[in-house]
Structure 1
Amino acid sequence: MNRLTILISMLLLTGSMGTQAQDLKKYDKGSFIKGKDSIYYRILFPENFDATKKYPILFFLHGRGESGNDNQKQLTHGAKQFLKDDFRKQFPAIVVFPQCAESSYWANVEISTDPQGKRSFNFQKRGKPTKAMHALLGMIDNFMDKPFVDEKRVYVGGLSMGAMGTYELLRRKKKLFAAAFAICGGDHVANVQKYKEVPLWIFHGEKDDVVPVVFSTIISDQLKVLGKTPKLTLYPNANHNSWDAAFADPKLLPWLFSNQKQR
């Protein structure tokens, strides 16, 4: 490869990265602060947003690797999905990406690490919400007070730690969400009873060595015991990153937004 080719390649790469960064700037920055609760978020409004109309709203919870307080990293996975022209035209929705602080965790789960660095998850049946979850609950309540949010079309989804947080949100606000999706997450099986009425699509990689796939299959199995028919998609060759495949599924978002609360 000659020097000219290398230069052209670098310019193209830089231009591509710049375009991606520019696109992500379409997510406005926001924060929710009330009492001891504080949480940063990024929010994408529909094109030609009209505050006199009502829109569906989706809350997306990131994984542990995107925790922080920069109000940027939480856009690493999934954010570009909602910037696509097809999505924005077909599903004019409000999309919110809150960010969990590194000092907290979305879900109420005890995590231990063995000498080899392998983590174990002990999901809690009850208990108070974490600091991040408490702030998230307040933030969601604040959004639900907005006149432009359609209360019949509220959705939540997440990956890894965010999927664990998704399950917890479903049980703490079991009457709020019209549908949800959870990618490579987990929950205490006893909690499933609380969100059995919410349409749910579960994704997981069968070779996941970070969050074992059994955490998803037991939730699916318990829903069947409770007389429900969950959607479960397993990827035989995927490790922990099953979110790329889940986001690439052309049926995910049409299914999600097809659900609506009957109240």
Structure 2
Amino acid sequence: MKNCVLVSICILFLFCSSSCSSDDGLSKNDYYNLSNLPVDTGGTHTGHILTEANAPYGYYAYQPFGYNDDSDSMYPLLIFLHGSGEKGNSLKHPEYLERILVNGIPKMIENGNWSPKYPMLVVSPQCHDDGWQPATIKRFVEFIVEKYKVNERRIYITGLSMGGFGCFSYVGTYGDDSHITAVVPICGGGNVSQAENFKNIPVWAFHGESDATVAPSKSKSMIEAINSSNPVEKAKITLYPDVAHDSWTYTYEGTGMGKENANYDAFNSDIYTWMLSHENKE
């Protein structure tokens, strides 16, 4: 009888081990653990031109060092939405895709200045319409999740100018169904009537107080509306005195720390660490 009990325990142990772990000994939760990802010492940044039967946008994708399609490890995803000056149809003009690289995070990657605390997949689509359309962004996000090893608990979005508007519009339209964990809109604005859809999605907006292209009131009104809807986490806004439209360089590179208006939220953490501090739970 004792032997039967011992055999049953052994079988149960082996079943649990095979169900809860993989061949490399990692549990499912380990695949989502940032500290288990290889240190990013420099990855690949590859352009993918727009096609008629593939992604809804042409895009650049940064895959950090150690990224492997055959691995079970999942990577945080950061989506970058460019401004109006970088639009282009790479299906008709493949060379237009390189416009994505002139500002923000893609520029930092190209210049070798990209070094967040933990490795991230970075995907930068190129808009070829009049502006960023929420439905098209959603199809693109879902395409990327299907194609790459994405940690769906950690999908972040940021954008500048037209891209800042795109961030507010996308999350404002879909809310929890946007797949987004946290959002950083820069020198943008949105529809205050959509503020309720940010209830569960942390927001940190940035704007230059001397911006004559997009009035800083556009960001301020959105943050005020979101906070009026009692979000789970208070939305933040950081303003730079005497800074015009280009508030993104300060923000993406972190050089604006200590230069912000003390009457608003402090720039006391780089935005990538702030984003990675947020995780959706299954």
Give the TM-score normalised by the residue count of structure 1: 0.74
2:175 is paired with a residue of what secondary structure? coil
How big is the alpha-carbon RMSD for the aligned residues of Structure 1 and Structure 2?
2.4
Counterpart CA distance in 1 for 2:100 and 2:163 is 10
Which one of the candidate residues 46, 50, 68 is aligned to 1:50?
Answer: 68
1:104 aligned to 116, 130, 141, which one? 130
Amino acid at match of 1:230: A
Indicate yes or no: 2:77 matched with 1:73: no
Q: Which amino acid counterpart does residue 183 of structure 2 have in structure 1?
A: A
Q: Is the 8 A contact 1:75 1:97 kept in 2?
A: no
Per-residue displacement from partner, 1:184-225 (whole Å, max 9, x unpaired)? 000111011112221111000111111101101111111221
Deviating beyond 4 angstroms after TM superposition, the runs of 4 or more aligned structure 1 residues are: 31-37, 82-86
SS in 2 for 1:214: helix
Are 2:223 and 1:245 aligned?
no
1:155 has 2:183 as partner:
no
Deviates more, 1:211-220 or 1:137-146: 137-146
Q: What is the CA distance between 1:237 and its match in structure 2?
A: 0.7
Does structure 1 conserve the Cα–Cα contact (< 8 Å) formed by 2:45 and 2:109?
no
Deviates more, 1:47-56 or 1:208-217: 47-56
Deviation of 1:35 after TM superposition, in Å, equals 5.9
Secondary structure at 2:48 match in 1: strand
1:102-181 matches, within 5 Å, as 103-106=129-132, 130=133, 133-146=134-147, 148-175=149-176, 176-181=179-184
**Number of residue pairs aligned between Structure 1 and Structure 2:** 213
Q: 1:223 to 1:67 in 2, by over 3 A?
A: same
Q: Hey, which of these two has a bigger chunk of strand by percent?
A: 1
- Residue deviations 1:110-142 (CA, integer Å, cap 9, x gap): xxxxxxxxxxxxxxxxxxxx4xx4433222111
* 8 Å CA contact 1:223, 1:230 repeated in 2: yes
Residue 255 of structure 1 aligns with which residue?
274
Unaligned runs of 5+ residues in structure 1 are: 1-23, 107-129
Q: Any gaps of 5 or more consecutive residues in structure 2?
A: 1-41, 90-95, 255-268
> Is 1:87 the counterpart of 2:151 in the alignment?
no
1:37–1:134 contact (8 Å) kept in structure 2: no
The DSSP-based 3-state class of the residue aligned with 1:105 is coil
Do 1:31 and 1:38's aligned partners in 2 also have CA atoms closer than 8 Å? no
Matched residue type, 2:65: E
Instruction: Quote the residue 1:29 is aligned against.
Output: 47
Percent identical across equivalent pairs? 28
1:62 corresponds, among 60, 82, 86, to 82
Secondary structure of the residue that 1:72 maps to in structure 2? helix
AA aligned opposite 1:213: P
TM-score (norm: length of structure 2): 0.69
Match of 1:220 in 2: 223
Structure with larger Rg: 2
Residues 67, 99 of structure 1: 8 Å contact kept: yes
Give the direction of change, closer, same or farther, for the CA distance of 1:135–1:35 in structure 2 (3 Å limit): farther
Q: Distance in 2 between matches of 1:60 and 1:220?
A: 20
Matched residues in 2 for 1:198 and 1:219: separation? 14
> 1-side partners of 2:55 and 2:273: how far apart?
34
- Report SS of the residue matched to 2:139: helix
What secondary structure is seen at the aligned counterpart in 2 of 1:259? coil
One-letter amino acid matched to 1:212: A
Post-superposition offset of 1:227:
1.9
Contact 2:164 2:185 in 1 (8 A): yes
